[in-house]
Amino acid sequence: MNEHIAPALPDWQVSRWFNTEGPLRLADLRGRVVLIHAFQMLCPGCVAHGLPQAARVHQRFGGEGVAVVGLHCVFEHHEAMGPQALQAFIHEYRLRFPIGVDGPSPDGPVPRTMAQWRLQGTPSTLLLDRQGRLRLHHFGALDELHLGVAIGRLLAQPPADRSDVNASTADVAACADGACTIGR
């Protein structure tokens, strides 16, 4: 009876990958803490804050059990942020972590994953526990100390142990303001 535990976040729908050898699924990352950074290459807050922060987490904690993935969620200026432009951007900004292009939607400008996950905009940061459940969801610049504490809490949970998740779920919402939410 774990009715307070959210199910795993549904998978992204990515049309193209960079910095990977092949398509990546969320399920492939089970057992690791996952940081997803949703961005647009022409979004000033992403370039100034979000992407450098994701790169720092990747560089320092990538070997400690944290997987960092970028998701290019283009919902405006589509003509200026196609895959070719993104490739140049990734090259110029020396981004090393896997980056997926959120699949275009037939229904409007907002791409598929962004719509399904109900992201408010870019930059958005999502943090998943080792079981793939959403534990932190923040829109805007995310305080570095808060992000660190949230990552630390999730890293402390043993990969296969589901017994103590309930107890600490509430703790993870250690986030700066109302923009932080715990996974449903």
Work out how close the CB of 24 gets to a second copy at its nearest, in angstroms, rounded to a whole number: 24
Handedness of CA 163, 7, 183, 14 (dihedral sign): positive
Which amino acid appears at position 113 of this protein?
T
CB-nearer residue toward a second copy: 9 or 35:
35
| Strand pairing report for 66-72 and 33-39 | parallel
* By the rule CB under 8 A, 54 interacts with a second copy: no
CB-nearer residue toward a second copy: 71 or 147:
147
* By the rule CB under 8 A, 6 interacts with a second copy: no
CB-nearer residue toward a second copy: 57 or 73:
57
Handedness of CA 166, 122, 102, 54 (dihedral sign): negative
Q: What is the token pair recorded at 86? A: 């993104």
Which amino acid appears at position 82 of this protein?
G
Which amino acid appears at position 168 of this protein?
S
Work out how close the CB of 44 gets to a second copy at its nearest, in angstroms, rounded to a whole number: 6
Q: Candidates 21, 167, 177, 178: give the one binding a second copy (CB under 8 A).
A: 167
Point out which span in 5-13, 104-112, 129-137, 149-157 binds a second copy (CB under 8 A).
Answer: 149-157
Which amino acid appears at position 170 of this protein?
A
Q: CA dihedral defined by 70, 75, 76, 79, rounded to 10 degrees?
A: 70
CB-nearer residue toward a second copy: 25 or 77:
77
Point out which span in 5-13, 23-31, 71-79, 99-107 binds a second copy (CB under 8 A).
Answer: 71-79
Which residues make Cβ contacts (< 8 Å) with residue 27, sequence separation at least 6?
Answer: 11, 132
Q: Cα separation of 11 and 139, whole Å?
A: 20
* By the rule CB under 8 A, 116 interacts with a second copy: no
Q: Which residues bind a second copy (CB under 8 A)?
A: 42-44, 47-48, 56-57, 60-61, 64, 76-77, 79-81, 84-85, 87-89, 91-93, 143-158, 164, 167-168, 171, 174, 176
